[in-house]
Chain A
Amino acid sequence: MLNKWLKQVLTPRTQAAGQKAGTPSQSLPVNKNLLVSMELLRSKLGRSPDFVMRGFTSSKGDSPYPVLAVCYVDGLVDHMQLTELIEAAARTAENSLQNGREPSGGEPDEGELDEGKPDGGESVAEQLARSLPSADLQKKATLDDVIASVLSGSVVFLADNTSYALSVSIPGGLRRSVEEPTSQSVIRGPKEGFTEELSTNMALIRRKLKTPDLRMEVRQIGTYTQTRVAVAYIQGIAQDSVVEEVRRRIDSINTDSILESNYIEEMIQDAPLSPFPTIMNTERPDAVAASLLDGQVAVLIDGTPFALLMPVTFFKFFQSSEDYYQRYDLATFLRVLRIMTFLVALLLPSLYIAITTFQQEILPMTMLITLAAQREGTPLPALLEAFIMELTFEVIREAGVRMPRIIGPAISIVGALVIGQAAVQAGLVSGTMVIVVSFTAIANFVIPSIDMAAAVRLMRFTLMILAGTLGLFGILAGMIPIIVHLVSLRSFGVDYYAPYAPFHKSNMKDMMIRVPIWAMKTRPDQIAGKNRTRQAPYQYPPVEETLLGSSSQGGQEEPS
């Protein structure tokens, strides 16, 4: 009889679900009859073996039917806490006066919500709520809510004669612990990186920013993955309009799955077809904290250690969080160096092609003779030669990323000896070309952001074709549209090429040049909101006069 009733309830629902795949189906309330609820849950989850459900009977009555049930997904919850919770639940069930009742017994009274107090005392659910050792206790009214919380690492308690379920979130199971970030390592600075778990990542940021103004808004995206996505910003420092825009764009995502931050990035970025990234990603909590303090908005996604930062400008991609952990002069030098390597990675092969093919007169005579002598025996034109070598490098690189680690040395031998040295010795490729290609490759790795490095890799080939057909004129004809494109880009309302075009004088202190920390009085223009002042002015390290005096005196006194 129970099964029949269940079938009646379930059949139209499964059909509806079949017609509209991907959209959440209409939700069923938690049934007052515990056995019905349990059976519904089991069948909705397809009787999956990792879905654990157990009923507790009361010892006071003689009924074989449970008064209380606990369910969770094995592997998603923390076992230590689970044991404590189950102990508490078992005690509650043991002590409850109420009998488990016949499942086919009296019709549930729809009007009354607080039923199930046969003795006038509190219900099992209330007793349980009182005795559960957890602060994070939530009531779930529908079965879909119950399933959602079970699937996101909660343990859920169902009580007989109660139209809601109690959910305690105890996410656990095997997760990666906080480790040093692999993609952005530093010599000096914090060594912790984000993990795949959102709550850990949120805590990592909280630990750095102990302010009530740090806001984190969590929402769930993806009909199947139900990925939790947190929008983090500092109230008052971030621009309200930008925060609102981030919210709007994230809320407009309608998809079945979010598996990595790039799913979100590609859905919300300003110029989806541009080779240049308009959203930055980082694995480092300190980088996120610094960005939040600049007025940026961070988006953290459950299941990936990469957080997104927006809005972002072009030159931000050439900065590393280590710039602030080492001396300002070195940091400035490194930033200039990075911009130069950006240009080298973008232009060196095309300049080489253009100069050796069209504008040889630029080179000094001795160099020209050396180059010409090298190229004398090579069978291919410079453009083709460079193209083949660049493609070869890209192949070796991709192989290096994908191959198992054990055969790594083999790849390096093949790459360096066979393709590099042997090709030159065989006279197929000129030695200079190998130098150009390798230096370009190394320069490409200096760019701190992988996204920006990828953009350079793609544009390099276009520029090489232009240089091979039209020389320096071709390079200029390729570079001008790139600059125009860069200038036209915007990231969440902020000009991408700022602070150079449009020019913002106060942002110059932290772009190409990194001034000493005490001189960074204000937050960046355009990005930060109303709260512009970062710290008090004139904090040039103060030295007490007395200290100066005593040290010089001490120096004089000692020898005498």
Chain B
Amino acid sequence: MSQQKIRASELVVSLILFEVGSTTLFLQGGGVKQNAWIAVLGAGAAGALVLLLHLAIHRRDPRLDLFLLFHRYMGPWVGTVFNLGFIAYFAYEMSRNLRDMGELTMLTLLPGTRIWITALITLLVVANTVRHDWRVSFLTGMALFPIMVASYLILILIIFLSGLIHYEFLLPVLENGVNMDMAKEVMKLVSFPFGETVVFLVFYPLIQQRRSVVRNIMISYFGIVLFLAFINQLSVMVLGPVLAANTTLPLLETVQLVQFPGVFERMDALFTLILFMGLGFKMVYFYSGAVIGLERVTGIGYRKWIIPLGALIFWAAFWSPNYTHHIWLGREIVLFTIWPVFQIVLPALLFTVMLLRRNKIKPH
């Protein structure tokens, strides 16, 4: 695999796109109603610790990626088992996003088209991006970043201009205090989207200049947290806490309400494309992470893995018999069971082992 280096700014931009990705699709922290923004901010703070853990691992041995680190510090056998676990995790994340994409298309743009067709096309487009050198996926992020930023800015602007905001939906603040519901929402949010940055442990070693990378990543991370809390609360402020929590795609619902008669009547179809791009980026990085992992484990070039793994992901995307089951599985089950293992437990374990064996195994 060619070691094409990327610039720190490219990685930061990709991290932003990745985090925003599919997050805006769902209402985050819907369980605590109008206090969702507190949940997002709290989870952002907790997620910062997780991100710092990942960055600390990277800083201890900056030349090796996630898979090589496990292999080096945990030994070939244990390391390979963990690596396969990570590959499965990345692939499963990718397959979930693929299903989201298919369902989203069916709900919004193409109600008459079979879901497997749109999912297959999406998979092909994503696989095509992964097929290139991974530098290309980061550069694609750079190329599409201005479009994403401009779209979200326009969206926020027109929502404010159209007078749909009801600030009274923010009240009362913390009517029940900090309780179990809040803790549950925060835990969910740490796993999705904040903890998912674990996949970037595969990409950190590609950075050309390491100077002040950690600082830049943390600054942009907090920017993302604020943005997500804001855009999330926007749905609550427009739709109201009850409706927002019970709508499948609250942000799209919000966009639908925006109307400038005679010019724009339904902008949600256009905005769906922006959501697609975000989902696409998420898929690209998970897919890349998985195929790079397969190369690290087997020694066979990552391009050869794209098609077999793609077939597996495609199959896995249709595990759930319906969307409700898919959402329930993703938003209620794996967030508490599987995700934290890969996002927090295993990196923490790795970091501990790295610290314990620091005299025996020097950084590469």
Interface stretch of the complex, out of A292-300, A329-337, A466-474 = A466-474
Complex Cα distance A327/B351, Å? 60
Q: A101 vs B262: C-alpha distance in the bound complex, in angstroms? A: 100
Q: B48 an interface residue at 8 Å Cβ cutoff? A: no
CB–CB B139/A501 < 8 A = yes
Question: Residue B254 at the A interface, CB < 8 A?
Answer: no
CB proximity to B under 8 Å, residues A227-279: none
CA distance A364 to B136 in the complex (A): 39
- In the bound complex, how far is the Cα of B144 from the Cα of A473, in angstroms? 17
Q: Cβ of B118 < 8 Å from any Cβ of A?
A: yes
- Cα–Cα distance between A474 and B264 once the two chains are bound (Å): 22
Q: Digit string of B240-283 for contact with A (CB within 8 Å is 1, else 0)?
A: 00000000000000000000011111110110110011001000
Kindly list chain A residues whose C-beta atoms are within 8 Å of the C-beta of B265: 361-365
Which among A361, A364, A470 is the interface contact of B121 at CB below 8 angstroms? A470
| Interface residue? B142 (CB, 8 A) | yes
Q: How large is the interface on A (under 10, 10 to 19, 20 to 34, 35 or more residues)?
A: 20 to 34
The reply on A487 being an interface residue by CB < 8 A is yes
Indicate if the CB atoms of A366 and B273 lie closer than 8 Å: no
Contact A480 B125, beta carbon cutoff 8 Å: yes
**Residues A473 and B109 in contact, CB atoms below 8 Å apart:** yes
Q: Mark A496-538, 1 if CB is under 8 A from B, else 0.
A: 0100111100000000000000000000000000000000000
The yes or no answer to A541 lying at the interface (CB within 8 A) is no
Q: Across the interface, do A472 and B273 meet the contact criterion of CB distance under 8 Å?
A: yes
Are A470 and B118 in contact, with the CB atoms below 8 A? yes
Residues of B within 8 A of A470 (CB): 110, 113, 118, 121
Complex CA distance for A474 and B129, rounded to whole angstroms? 16
Among B122, B140, B262, the most chain A Cβ lie within 10 Å of the Cβ of B140
Residues of A within 8 A of B109 (CB): 358-359, 471-473
Closest CB in chain B relative to A313 CB, distance in Å:
13
- Is the beta-carbon distance between B142 and A500 smaller than 8 angstroms? yes
Task: Count B-side interface residues using an 8 Å CB cutoff.
Answer: 38
A472 to B7, CA, bound (A): 33
CB of B267 within 8 A of CB of A364, answer no
Kindly name the residue among B125, B264, B267, B270 whose own CB sees the greatest number of chain A CB atoms within 10 A.
B125
Q: For residue B105, which residues in chain A have a CB less than 8 angstroms away from its CB?
A: 473
A167 and B223 CA atoms in complex are apart in Å by: 74
Once the chains bind, are A502 and B136 in contact (CB under 8 Å)?
Answer: no
Q: Is B133 an interface residue (CB 8 A)?
A: yes
Contact A503 B110 (CB under 8 A): no
A477 interface contact, C-beta 8 A: yes
Chain A contact surface mostly: helix
Query: What's the dominant secondary structure at chain B's contact region?
Result: helix
Set of chain B residues within 8 Å of A503, measured between Cβ atoms: 9-10, 142
CB pair A488–B133 under 8 Å, yes or no, is yes
Q: How far is the CA of A433 from the CA of B118 in the complex (A)?
A: 28
What's the Cα separation between A474 and B133 when bound, in Å?
Answer: 25
At the interface, yes or no: A495 with Cβ under 8 Å from chain B?
yes
How many whole Å from A540's CB to the nearest CB in chain B?
Answer: 29
Q: Is A481 an interface residue, CB under 8 A from the partner?
A: yes
B142 close to A502 (CB less than 8 A) = yes
Least Cβ–Cβ distance between B273 and chain A, in angstroms = 5
Chain B residues lying within 8 Å of A543, measured Cβ to Cβ, are: none
Is A450's CB within 8 Å of the partner chain B? no
Nearest chain A CB to B113 CB, angstrom units: 7
Q: A477-B121, A487-B136 are in contact. Are A501 and B142 (CB under 8 A)?
A: yes
Contacts of A502 in B (CB 8 A): 7, 10, 139, 142
B180 adjacent to chain A (CB < 8 Å): no
Docked-complex contact B261 and A473, CB < 8 angstroms = no
Residue B171 at the chain A interface, CB threshold 8 Å? no
Q: Which chain B positions have C-beta within 8 A of A148?
A: none
Q: Which residues of A lie under 8 Å from residue B277 when comparing CB positions?
A: 476, 480
Interface string of A153-191 (1 = CB under 8 A from B): 000000000000000000000000000000000000000
Tell whether, in the assembled complex, residue B140 and residue A483 are in contact, meaning their CB atoms are under 8 Å apart: yes
> Nearest residue in A to B130 (C-beta to C-beta)?
A484
Most buried by B among A358, A359, A473: A473
Query: Is B128 an interface residue, CB under 8 A from the partner?
Result: yes
A483 to B132, CA, bound (A): 12
A366 CA to B263 CA in the complex, in Å?
10
Q: In the complex the two chains form, what is the Cα distance from A501 to B147 in whole Å?
A: 13
Closest to A483 in B: B143
**Cβ of A386 to closest chain B Cβ, rounded Å:** 19
17 A-B pairs with CB atoms under 8 Å apart are A362-B267, A363-B265, A365-B265, A472-B269, A473-B110, A473-B118, A473-B121, A477-B122, A480-B125, A480-B129, A480-B277, A484-B132, A487-B139, A500-B143, A501-B10, A502-B139, A503-B142
Q: Which residues of A contact B (CB under 8 A)?
A: 358-359, 361-366, 470-474, 476-477, 480-481, 483-484, 486-488, 495, 497, 500-503
Starting from the known contacts A364-B264, A365-B265, 14 additional A-B residue pairs (CB-CB under 8 Å) come to: A359-B269, A361-B269, A472-B272, A472-B273, A473-B118, A473-B276, A476-B273, A480-B140, A484-B136, A488-B132, A488-B133, A501-B140, A501-B142, A503-B142
In the complex, the 6 A-B pairs of residues with the closest C-beta atoms, listed nearest first: A501-B142, A487-B139, A501-B143, A501-B139, A361-B266, A488-B136
